[in-house]
Structure 1
């Protein structure tokens, strides 16, 4: 009847009696039963000790298979409560081996219940339902109103709740409460009532939900069950934070204290996340970041994708709120438009800022090329501290974050954009946690630095090549084209979104390279990236290549083989030329996108895989849909995020950069020391329309280098033999069309900014002088002047 403390007293007395009277064979089961109660109470450390004692007792005094199986069930229960899902899965696999031989229907019912809980915690609610139904079916055969039936009903309600089937959830939970009342089982009654509270919350009845949850908290308190009370308080804290209730942090802090006593890392992280949410709502940003960082480390350790995603979303919200407040409330320095670029001394600014915060030291660094970080200014930083500080820059970049705290909250790192890459501000505090004002000041200071770093290099290094070079395995994305830079910035925002990405671009525009970059920027970067070109695999075998097959599925299937989706589990799969997939494969792709389930050829069993899905095509899929060659429902699934890559003819400002990059590759990979590409050679490359895009340019540079030979130069004459004279009618026509597009774009931007040439030049990616030359070239005038 859920009087757990009294139950423990009797079990402890029984164990003492067994020890005194030499009844050692009773000790294992007695320790195991104590552990079960302690797990329900959330006393995990003591439960672990008792499970270990029970195991030793069985080793010393012997145990039958039933007793061993019961102890394994207890261990699994502990792992599930602590959210140690892999260990729980291994324990259930052990039980499964001996379950059939035992012939124990109660054990079978408990097995299905625990498997169901594991599936539910993994986010597989449909699979969980199957196991809870099986547990219920077995339980009803044993006794229709038993503990087994009660628990199965309650867990069915929890699963229906996750699936959004609220009426079914409510029915199951009410039945569980009825059985609990008949049996006097206060624990199950309170647990079912808590789930009913969440049903009300999903129905939009927030006040009723909170009222129910408060009642549940009181029920668990009356049982002396501090752990389940804390779980309930955590639910209340999350609801309160979402509704900006000032008590949210109090509820979350109470839960956190209880979880710290229980010894559960995972639940401490859940409470820290709730506390971060509450602090964020209260604009206590330093405290919010501190708790969030604490939670994120644990969620990553436990592989909890749902809460990793929630943490990222919360971090983005706090980032955005901080930036908004910083720009609105603070003006630590002076108006940016009054700064004389050449007179700004970054080191002096840094020193003043560190003193303003009463901090210890500070550093400003930037990176324009991969693997190369330059220190712009440092104040009070010891040489031996440089390497660990700069490694934080890499970590910040890899995580795609803008702000990061130390676990104690007194060191701060802020990322900002430069003209050609990223900058980094590091502040070491004096031991006290940084305040909201400190953080806002740092954001404002980084805003100033961003302005300086975006404008200053252009005035100091006029005529220098400005590019962003981003490593993607052994290949690079090289660009200074505004449209491509926007795409790269967009990728940083969507790299971790659980949505499919469709990349459209002509042949040779670098679709796979962009896909690799998305993977590299995501949290899956350490897991496999599996590229599959659908055009290179015959339609007849594409299905088996992607989804795998069972032995005997077809004539040459001599053994089971994993498909590419299974190989990519945990990572990213990239389907190039996805329009080439036939109807059968398209149907299977649709199913995967809907529920992440794959079925190998010749198998009756489906498998769930955790794979980020990227696809690419050089055809317009909407045209393929109209022609009946591509499924409309699959098309709409695929275009969750659409990235369109511009052809090289629309990236003419990148051609000299790319040509230089490919020339350097030739020197490194082929060992041909070509000195340069001549000026008229570059002009020819700029005029050519590049139907094969970047791939064609790379091949032309390689061939030209071979023709030029070591010590030679790639001249216009050599290039003409490879790509022909570009002064033909077609190219002239194309050039005229391109100029017309450019003219219209420049005029549109100028009109949008009221003919402010400096602003227009920044938007267009031109220098102010370059824009003035183009205005003269095209004879552009403002609407007002024309009128």
Structure 2
């Protein structure tokens, strides 16, 4: 009886010591009591003491030891059948893990608590447990699952009852979700509901949280001054409760964010540093990283761009270490915008990574923010078609959410891209259609018209001419229905009779332009897409008509008998440049098969342009407005290629926390292109065969099949018939793939294209690098013609770039410069350019890895590679760390 009384008294003493912050005494006393009880039968007192020692250890930040004691308490509560004690311990562990940003572990404990509560009929525990899970998932950006749990919590409260405090906490959680998703109206309605019951609750913590959330809402609405008032109120209440608490920490951080928006940088920095200090004391990695991110923006506003980017990259690493892909993506978005403004070529990579994460989160708004950043990056890289596509995607969402700031930013970006597109188009036309290069033929004129119509985002176009009065001939038509032909041509005579050069429709979205031919007049017709044509569109049409006038006045129509013409085909802001007969046959063949419902297999050596041809097939097809999804099988480990292509269900494997679409579903309605398809393993090959047979895919871990409408293109640099013989590739899949086979000739078999391609790449260097090299000398061209080009077109492009750098502004690319890069192929010493480049790459990768302590994620970001791409290169070069080598 004395022992029982002593231990019960000990429990009261432990509670007292913990309440007044005497954690070391509580831990020592609790361990003494457990030592006394170790040979006794486990009872409720034993469980309570273990739980309280665990609580004290948590307060001291000793998570590992605390977890051991709380797990002992759980075992003890289970043994005596006190089920609410089990749930309470799991909840304690979850809160502790959440407070130090170990979110995955916190979710694990909450899920165990919920499962245990359901199993033992503790229904009243379920609502709060679901709500706590939802809060963590919102922080992680898993919005869909958070919404499901909020709904489950609400249903639990309806069925089993809940007090006003529990209901208010659930409403706070919903508001937090809406704010993270930028659903500001819904967040405002939720806060209005809370305000009605807040005064009655008398809960200062709830009041502080209310002011914090109102402040965030005001800040997101652009009302920074108003937001400051609420953050100060939250801070004031928090400091009364506990001066170094979670409430105070968050209020300090948000005050810093508000001061940042108002341009009060010193105040912002002070608040953010205080938040970081408190976060360090509490072990709150999430708040620390968020405050550090805001400090990065303070540095950016001070003009310290490099320092800002360095801070933001560090923040990205911090969120990644927590498993918080959403906040990492928000940070990458910040980096992408900075990179785009400074014409950093990695801007689109950062933005695309963020977009992928936001697509998984289920947030329309954040997807739009990523699309805007991607559009900015593409605009800086002169990828105007991609920029417009992403911008339109973003604008629609910003309008839906009523985000005036980003609507204005989008309009400004659209104007910038419009202006740049006209300037670049003029420059490219002036380059590609010089007198020494252009020849008029029906294929070329049709392609020119098609690409010009696409550039204007118009519907259709037509070029006609009349060399004999009363006789009109159609030179080329794109997307013009036969029944529309007569009304269009009737406009020709009217335009000639009026003596005008330009004529509009009444709504200003159709355009007719006159030009002169050798013995008569020509006529360019453009049908708009319903929107009025801009000034830039009209200037572009006039410029295009100047080009047509040059063609029609200087050259008769060639029917391409010798097929020795130069064709330039803009495709996704890239160009297929050739006058080679075999390549021209391939392009003509693509015209015929572009819409056939057959797979296409493209064979060619490395660097021959297989992906470019695949993109051209897609662009020529009726699917051109739908996604084109390229996947390089060689860059994805065999172990995950199946899940990348076909998607997976939640729980299909470790880390499969939610359902995810594969690339086949992403490409639905469009085209998928599998490069290096020979690298696919047996399982993937079997699934590809099933898709090709019945258009059905099955995500990993799912029993349900799905039908997708996808055009299938594949490429390889290996002979698949050899792979079949060696047993590495399925014979039935091979015969399915080669429904349409396109074989691309290597550059050594296209020698007549080498001067054309060299000039094209030289102009790219002028445009992209700003190096105004004048020309390639005649003997330099001769050397290029003699070289065997094992790396094909890609190698030629790299050589021209390197040679231009050596030549410098105003210089010429001479034979001597080229000899330092590729050697004299007619001599005995042929330098291996590819080997040299690989050696340089190998040394750079190793240097960066050593600098960052072999942190592959950080190294990949510095090198501009994906993490998986870096791992593949480490394996390729057989790299090991200095420590391992020693």
Q: How high is the TM-score relative to the length of structure 2?
A: 0.43
- 8 A contact 1:370–1:471 mirrored in 2: no
Q: Which residue of 1 aligns with 2:885?
A: 786
Paired with 1:765 and 1:144, the residues of 2 have a C-alpha distance of: 43
Write the deviation string for residues 477-513 of structure 1: whole angstroms up to 9, x where unpaired.
9999999999999999999999999999999999999
TM-superposed CA distance for 1:428, in Å, is: 10
Paired with 1:694 and 1:414, the residues of 2 have a C-alpha distance of: 38
Paired with 2:277 and 2:871, the residues of 1 have a C-alpha distance of: 81
Residues 82 and 173 of structure 1, relative CA distance in 2, 3 Å threshold? same
Q: Higher RCO, 1 or 2 (CA under 8 Å, sep at least 6)?
A: 1
Count of residue pairs the alignment pairs up: 787
TM-superposed CA distance for 1:220, in Å, is: 0.5
* 1:685 maps to which of 773, 779, 784: 784
Matched, 1:515 2:614: yes
Paired with 1:343 and 1:739, the residues of 2 have a C-alpha distance of: 44
Paired with 2:312 and 2:835, the residues of 1 have a C-alpha distance of: 70
Write the deviation string for residues 647-675 of structure 1: whole angstroms up to 9, x where unpaired.
99999999999999999999999999999
- 8 A contact 2:418–2:536 mirrored in 1: no
Paired with 2:322 and 2:844, the residues of 1 have a C-alpha distance of: 72
Write the deviation string for residues 207-261 of structure 1: whole angstroms up to 9, x where unpaired.
1111111111111011110000110111111111111111111111111111111
Residues 33 and 645 of structure 1, relative CA distance in 2, 3 Å threshold? closer
TM-superposed CA distance for 1:324, in Å, is: 1.3
Paired with 2:427 and 2:610, the residues of 1 have a C-alpha distance of: 40
- 8 A contact 1:285–1:436 mirrored in 2: no
Paired with 1:761 and 1:174, the residues of 2 have a C-alpha distance of: 29
Write the deviation string for residues 81-114 of structure 1: whole angstroms up to 9, x where unpaired.
0001111111111111111111111111000000
- 8 A contact 1:656–1:682 mirrored in 2: yes
Paired with 1:382 and 1:635, the residues of 2 have a C-alpha distance of: 39
Paired with 2:288 and 2:772, the residues of 1 have a C-alpha distance of: 80
Query: Larger deviation: 161-170 or 88-97?
Result: 88-97
- 8 A contact 1:290–1:408 mirrored in 2: no
Matched, 1:583 2:663: no
Q: Which residue of 2 aligns with 1:35?
A: 134
Residues 162 and 365 of structure 1, relative CA distance in 2, 3 Å threshold? farther
Residues 604 and 294 of structure 1, relative CA distance in 2, 3 Å threshold? closer
Residues 154 and 575 of structure 1, relative CA distance in 2, 3 Å threshold? farther
Residues 629 and 697 of structure 1, relative CA distance in 2, 3 Å threshold? same
Query: Larger deviation: 327-336 or 107-116?
Result: 327-336
Matched, 1:333 2:435: no
Matched, 1:133 2:232: yes
TM-superposed CA distance for 1:322, in Å, is: 1.0
Q: Which residue of 2 aligns with 1:460?
A: 559
TM-superposed CA distance for 1:459, in Å, is: 32
Residues 661 and 34 of structure 1, relative CA distance in 2, 3 Å threshold? closer
Matched, 1:660 2:753: no
- 8 A contact 1:370–1:469 mirrored in 2: no
1:37 aligned counterpart, secondary structure: helix
2:436 aligned counterpart, secondary structure: helix
- 8 A contact 2:695–2:709 mirrored in 1: yes
Paired with 2:426 and 2:790, the residues of 1 have a C-alpha distance of: 46
Write the deviation string for residues 249-295 of structure 1: whole angstroms up to 9, x where unpaired.
11111111111111111111111111111111111111111111111
Residues 381 and 784 of structure 1, relative CA distance in 2, 3 Å threshold? farther
Residues 426 and 633 of structure 1, relative CA distance in 2, 3 Å threshold? same
Matched, 1:226 2:343: no
TM-superposed CA distance for 1:721, in Å, is: 93
Paired with 1:767 and 1:555, the residues of 2 have a C-alpha distance of: 21
Structure 1: gaps (5+ residues): none
Map of 1:173-192 to 2, 5 A cutoff? 173-192=272-291
Residues 768 and 560 of structure 1, relative CA distance in 2, 3 Å threshold? closer
Residues 166 and 654 of structure 1, relative CA distance in 2, 3 Å threshold? same
TM-superposed CA distance for 1:381, in Å, is: 3.4
- 8 A contact 2:569–2:576 mirrored in 1: yes
Query: Larger deviation: 270-279 or 581-590?
Result: 581-590
Residues 70 and 582 of structure 1, relative CA distance in 2, 3 Å threshold? same
- 8 A contact 2:447–2:569 mirrored in 1: no
Query: Larger deviation: 723-732 or 375-384?
Result: 723-732
- 8 A contact 1:18–1:26 mirrored in 2: yes
Q: Which residue of 1 aligns with 2:408?
A: 309
- 8 A contact 2:375–2:386 mirrored in 1: yes
* 2:162 maps to which of 45, 53, 63: 63
Matched, 1:148 2:247: yes
- 8 A contact 2:780–2:813 mirrored in 1: yes
TM-superposed CA distance for 1:445, in Å, is: 3.2
- 8 A contact 1:176–1:188 mirrored in 2: yes
Paired with 1:74 and 1:722, the residues of 2 have a C-alpha distance of: 62
- 8 A contact 2:501–2:514 mirrored in 1: yes
- 8 A contact 1:332–1:441 mirrored in 2: no
Residues 15 and 639 of structure 1, relative CA distance in 2, 3 Å threshold? closer
Query: Larger deviation: 372-381 or 594-603?
Result: 594-603
Residues 57 and 383 of structure 1, relative CA distance in 2, 3 Å threshold? farther
1:573 aligned counterpart, secondary structure: strand
Q: Which residue of 2 aligns with 1:711?
A: 810
Paired with 2:382 and 2:436, the residues of 1 have a C-alpha distance of: 30
TM-superposed CA distance for 1:744, in Å, is: 72
2:626 aligned counterpart, secondary structure: coil
- 8 A contact 2:375–2:388 mirrored in 1: yes
Query: Larger deviation: 290-299 or 646-655?
Result: 646-655
- 8 A contact 2:442–2:475 mirrored in 1: no
Paired with 1:214 and 1:779, the residues of 2 have a C-alpha distance of: 27
Residues 533 and 268 of structure 1, relative CA distance in 2, 3 Å threshold? closer
Residues 132 and 379 of structure 1, relative CA distance in 2, 3 Å threshold? same
Paired with 1:783 and 1:397, the residues of 2 have a C-alpha distance of: 78
Q: Which stretches of structure 1, 4 residues or longer, exceed 4 Å deviation after superposition? A: 331-361, 363-379, 382-444, 446-787
Residues 752 and 203 of structure 1, relative CA distance in 2, 3 Å threshold? closer
Query: Larger deviation: 136-145 or 582-591?
Result: 582-591
TM-superposed CA distance for 1:776, in Å, is: 85
Paired with 1:761 and 1:555, the residues of 2 have a C-alpha distance of: 23
Paired with 1:185 and 1:781, the residues of 2 have a C-alpha distance of: 35
TM-superposed CA distance for 1:380, in Å, is: 3.5
TM-superposed CA distance for 1:329, in Å, is: 2.8
Residues 681 and 640 of structure 1, relative CA distance in 2, 3 Å threshold? same
- 8 A contact 1:294–1:407 mirrored in 2: no
Paired with 1:335 and 1:97, the residues of 2 have a C-alpha distance of: 74
Query: Larger deviation: 586-595 or 354-363?
Result: 586-595
TM-superposed CA distance for 1:323, in Å, is: 1.2
Residues 744 and 294 of structure 1, relative CA distance in 2, 3 Å threshold? closer
Paired with 2:491 and 2:288, the residues of 1 have a C-alpha distance of: 49
Paired with 1:97 and 1:237, the residues of 2 have a C-alpha distance of: 42
- 8 A contact 1:504–1:619 mirrored in 2: yes
Structure 2: gaps (5+ residues): 1-99
1:574 aligned counterpart, secondary structure: strand
Residues 398 and 683 of structure 1, relative CA distance in 2, 3 Å threshold? farther
Paired with 2:116 and 2:874, the residues of 1 have a C-alpha distance of: 99
Write the deviation string for residues 566-620 of structure 1: whole angstroms up to 9, x where unpaired.
9999999999999999999999999999999999999999999999999999999
TM-superposed CA distance for 1:181, in Å, is: 0.6
Paired with 2:618 and 2:461, the residues of 1 have a C-alpha distance of: 33
Q: What is the root-mean-square deviation in Å for CA atoms of aligned residues?
A: 27.1
Paired with 2:859 and 2:520, the residues of 1 have a C-alpha distance of: 21
Paired with 1:759 and 1:181, the residues of 2 have a C-alpha distance of: 23
1:730 aligned counterpart, secondary structure: coil
